[in-house]
Structure 1
Amino acid sequence: MKLLFCDNTIWGLINFREAVFRHFHEQGYEIVLVAPSDEKTRMKTVVPDYVRFVPVYLERAGRNPLTDVSYLLCLLRIYQRERPDWIFHYTIKPNIYGTLAARLLGIRSVAMVAGLGYTFAKQGLTGSIARALYRFALRYACRVFVLNEENLNTLITHHIASAAKLVLLKSGEGVDTELLQEGKIEKYDRRTT
């Protein structure tokens, strides 16, 4: 069985979710990670040898619809080639475009909403478009995982995701908090991306 995890940084995938990958690997799953490489940052993420990393180009904060369409098409190619059994998406653009790509290919996917961030705080056209894209894409996710009741209630109140698909992970998503406490996770400098 193959699991694919897609995020907007390889740093975030490895540093926050490596314990999850290790668990599934120990259960016999093949693990594939899809994210931008660290080339634009000062971070040097070490990818474990038991996972396969497929780099992808993504403008995390970009607003150019052509680059977003290019990202969607790239995910379609990767997902079609990999044919995973499940895909787990993290952060807004993978949640939107990755979920749509998975749906187009008939692959089961989960959207992980760790926080709603600027998507719901931002007023005006950009915020409205982001919320509309989220509403459209999340209807195709098999499940939508959230980490707190505030996000759960916001997604229901704004009709972004149906209550039947929402899963509140009260105990978190598997982040190894001991690594954070021990200072083994290097701080990510968002200014460099």
Structure 2
Amino acid sequence: MKLLFCDNSLKELVNFRGDVIENFLDKGYEIVLVAPDNQGDFRFRDRVKLYTPAVSRSGMNPIKDMRYLITLLKIYNRERPNIVFHYTIKPNIYGSLACRLNSIKSVAMITGLGYAFNHNDIRSRVARAIYRFAMRFPERIMVLNESNQQVLVDSHIILPHKTVLLKGGEGLNLDHYK
């Protein structure tokens, strides 16, 4: 079984989902990570396949975003994972589209609402509209709290039946975070 994890930061992906990745590796899963390499050396380097596409975390340059989408399309087509887990807004949007176009199952993780939902300028409205379109494609959309879930459902960004509420969050490794 091949799993792919896509984020806009390798450092954050390993920091927040390292234990999940480690668990799957220990169970024999093939793991592919897709995130800009801002980590340097990291504990999985020799155990996973790593792709490091460029992505602007907060920019809204449509040409750069289309390049990112095309890069994800190529990676996903080459790797053909059984399922892809996306984290953060751009991987959620463009990764979900890439999965749909490649007929690959995906899950989107929305950890917070951020700028697109805390403002109402044209940039925010465009981001919400794109998010609304892209969130039709994942099999499931995970959220971390009921208030975010309610905003996303009320804004018609996500469908209630696709939502998975992780009550209590994702968990915290108390050995690492004393």
* TM-score interval, normalised by the smaller of the two chains: over 0.9
Distance (whole Å) between structure 2 residues aligned to residue 45 and residue 61 of structure 1? 25
| Alpha-carbon contact 1:146-1:167 (below 8 Å) kept | yes
Q: 1:44 aligns with which of 40, 44, 52?
A: 40
Q: Which residue of 1 aligns with 2:3?
A: 3
Unaligned runs of 5+ in 1: 182-193
Distance (whole Å) between structure 2 residues aligned to residue 88 and residue 46 of structure 1? 20
1:35 and 2:32 aligned: no
| Alpha-carbon contact 1:14-1:45 (below 8 Å) kept | no
Q: Provide the TM-score with structure 2 as the length reference.
A: 0.95
Unaligned runs of 5+ in 2: none
After superposing on structure 2, the runs of 4+ consecutive aligned residues of structure 1 that deviate more than 4 Å are none
Worse-matched range after superposition: 158-167 or 20-29:
20-29
Q: Deviations over 1:62-99 (max 9, x none)?
A: 11100000000000000000000000000000000000
Q: 1:149 aligns with which of 114, 127, 146?
A: 146
Amino acid at match of 1:73: I
Aligned to 2:90, the other structure's residue is in SS state helix
Distance (whole Å) between structure 2 residues aligned to residue 4 and residue 46 of structure 1? 17
Distance (whole Å) between structure 2 residues aligned to residue 132 and residue 47 of structure 1? 38
| Alpha-carbon contact 1:8-1:91 (below 8 Å) kept | yes
Q: 2:64 aligns with which of 61, 67, 82?
A: 67
Q: Deviations over 1:4-57 (max 9, x none)?
A: 00000000011111100011112221011000111xxxx535141322211111
Distance (whole Å) between structure 2 residues aligned to residue 143 and residue 45 of structure 1? 32
Amino acid at match of 1:130: A
Q: Provide the TM-score with structure 1 as the length reference.
A: 0.88
Q: 1:130 aligns with which of 120, 127, 130?
A: 127
User: Kindly tell me: are residues 175 and 133 of structure 1, through their superposed partners in 2, closer, same or farther at Cα, counting changes over 3 Å?
Assistant: farther
Distance (whole Å) between structure 1 residues aligned to residue 55 and residue 30 of structure 2? 24
Q: Which residue of 1 aligns with 2:102?
A: 105
| Alpha-carbon contact 1:91-1:114 (below 8 Å) kept | yes
Amino acid at match of 2:123: T
C-alpha RMSD of matched pairs (Å)? 1.2
Amino acid at match of 1:4: L
Distance (whole Å) between structure 2 residues aligned to residue 177 and residue 99 of structure 1? 32
Amino acid at match of 2:76: Y
**Of the two structures, which has the highest relative contact order with CA contacts closer than 8 Å and spacing of 6 or more?**
1
| Alpha-carbon contact 1:99-1:109 (below 8 Å) kept | yes
Distance (whole Å) between structure 1 residues aligned to residue 27 and residue 34 of structure 2? 21
Worse-matched range after superposition: 97-106 or 55-64:
55-64
Q: 2:116 aligns with which of 102, 115, 119?
A: 119
Aligned length: 177
Amino acid at match of 1:103: R
Q: Deviations over 1:84-123 (max 9, x none)?
A: 0000000000000000000000000000000011110021
Aligned to 2:161, the other structure's residue is in SS state coil
